[in-house]
Amino acid sequence: MKPKKLTAPQVREVLKKIHFTGFLGVRLAGLHRDGLTLACAVRKHLLNSAEVLHGGVTATLADAAAGVALHYLLGSHRAITTVEMKINYFRPVSEGEIFARAHLVRMGATLCVGRVDITDERRRMIGTALITYMILANRGAAS
């Protein structure tokens, strides 16, 4: 049976439980057929020494976008963990918001792969990521 997708309020609940992305001010910006979009505003404490957004923030947003997208599509009754992530940075960002659009391109029984395209407010690509997640166990079984 195909899992029932989460609703937008449920996705926001999932996001709310991730301490670190809450700390960074990450918000849900949209739901899509094959994933979702998270957004994060560029703020002073998220910058590096060149006064542009730190790559770690972009990596965090990409990782979170793929992970929350997986919860969204799986109906969230699963524990998941990031196996590995690869990210390419195309251009620096110093203001506005950035958007991470996650596409789940492979949904396996154990491993899932997300592609995340990151853009700035002017819709310019600022990076792209490939992330592998592992589904750990069926938490929903007992619930």
Query: Which chain residues interact with a copy of itself by CB under 8 A?
Result: 14, 17-23, 44-50, 54-57, 59-61, 63-64, 67, 79, 81-90, 92, 105-106, 108, 110-111, 113, 115, 125, 128, 130, 132, 134
**In the block, which residue shows the tokens 């991470």?**
100
Radius of gyration for the alpha carbons in the chain, expressed in angstroms and rounded: 15
In the complex, minimum distance from the CB of residue 2 to a copy of itself, in angstroms, rounded to a whole number = 18
User: Which of 18, 16, 38 has its CA nearest to residue 82?
Assistant: 18
**Closest separation between CB of residue 65 and a copy of itself, Å?**
11
4 or 86: whose CB is closer to a copy of itself? 86
Place of tokens 């998270």: 38
Q: By C-beta, is 49 or 143 nearer to a copy of itself?
A: 49
* Nearest approach, Cβ of residue 104 and a copy of itself (Å): 11
C-alpha to C-alpha distance for 111 and 83, rounded to whole angstroms: 9
Of residues 20, 110, 33, the one with CA closest to residue 69: 33
Q: How far is the CB of 1 from a copy of itself (least distance, A)?
A: 22
- As a whole number of angstroms, the longest Cα–Cα distance in the chain is 50
